[in-house]
Amino acid sequence: MAELLLIKDRLKIIYGRYEIFITPVLKFILALITYLVINKKLGYMENLANPVFAIMMALVNAFLPVNIIILFAAVMICLHLYRMSLIAAAIAVLFFVILFLIFLRFSADSAVAVIFAPLLFVCHIPYVLPICLGLVSNPLSALSAACGIGVYFFLSYMTANEAAIQNPGDVQLADQVRSIVSGLVSDKTVLVYVIAFAVTIVVVYIIRRLAVNYAWYIAIAAGAVVEIITMLFAGAAFNVKISVPSVLLGVLLAIIIALILQFFLFSVDYTRTEYVQFEDEEYYYHVKAVPKLMVSATDKQVKRISRARVRSHDRD
């Protein structure tokens, strides 16, 4: 444990010292992965799907706010869908306008959730998102997670129905639009994930804010149980087939990642908890102080003693 604490402290020191370089690199990697995933999932516009173009856009995003990654990704998706179908592109534009209105109004501070949600779904580990968001963010991040879930299922529907959208046959324009919209709205799987993730985020947030010992551990355990139960019950309520082994394995992985996150963000020593009381002119204060787990690296100094110095000392 002491070695892990030393590694954590060293990483914090390194990040604090080189933050001006590390942060752009992290944003570049996140943006690049996002654009490459979009190109792989859609890729209808060949020039836009070129990896060099994705690298150039990621380089630009490295020096801009994280929210700009979402904007660039939305534009990229709309351009790909425009090459597939004008109707699909128009629906995508309307979808993203509504998404940005909700996102910018309520949860602009949790932009990373909008990006990570589709990426985690692509990696088949979406259950990591709500527990981690509950630990590091606030309940409004559930809206960002919902927006990210909507983006993933929107793209999945478009790619799954590519043939029907590109070749509508003799179907009228209004009927084609109605068919796409009804297909998007009728997918109850989106509601299952949105409800389960929102409930999990709120439960984890409330518990980890409690002034009790081991609040973060309790929050992680409670969030895992709540996420499993909510997924199963919501799936049954909306008649959506949920893979129980997939949920259990995903939540187990979420617990492991959440514990790692807890170690780096909130590692404290409850055995040395202190209760402090003091007052001012208007109030009495009762404060519970829990010290952080910290291990300072020992400063070892090696002193060389030569033979000549030993002989000189013996002569004296």
State the Cα–Cα distance between residues 77 and 95, nearest whole angstrom: 11
Give the pLDDT band of residue 299 (cuts 50, 70, 90): very low
* 94 domain residue, yes or no: no
Q: Which pLDDT band holds residue 272 (cuts at 50, 70, 90)?
A: confident
Residue 299 — φ and ψ, nearest 5°? -95, 100
Contact 272, 288 (CB under 8 A): no
Q: Which two tokens stand for residue 125?
A: 């580990």
Question: Does any domain span residue 231?
Answer: yes
Would 5 be classed as within a structural domain?
no
- 165, 180 Cβ separation under 8 angstroms: yes
Residue 36 located in a structural domain: no
> How many percent of the chain have pLDDT more than 70?
87
| pLDDT of res. 304 | 58
Assess if residue 229 is contained within a domain.
yes
Domain-located, residue 16: no
**Structural domain contains residue 114:** yes
- Sign of the dihedral defined by the CA atoms of residues 247, 252, 258, 260, in that order: negative
- Residue 30 identity: L
pLDDT band at 7 (very low <50, low <70, confident <90, very high): confident
Structural domain including 222 reads: 110-163+173-266
pLDDT of residue 116 exceeding 80, the answer is yes
Per-residue pLDDT tens over the stretch 215-236? 999 999 999 999 999 999 999 9
Number of separate domains in the chain = 1
The structure's pTM equals 0.84
9 near 294, Cβ under 8 Å? yes
Domain assignment of residue 297, yes or no: no
How does the average pLDDT of the chain come out, rounded?
84
* Cβ neighbourhood burial of 118 (10 Å; 0-12, 13-18, 19+): buried
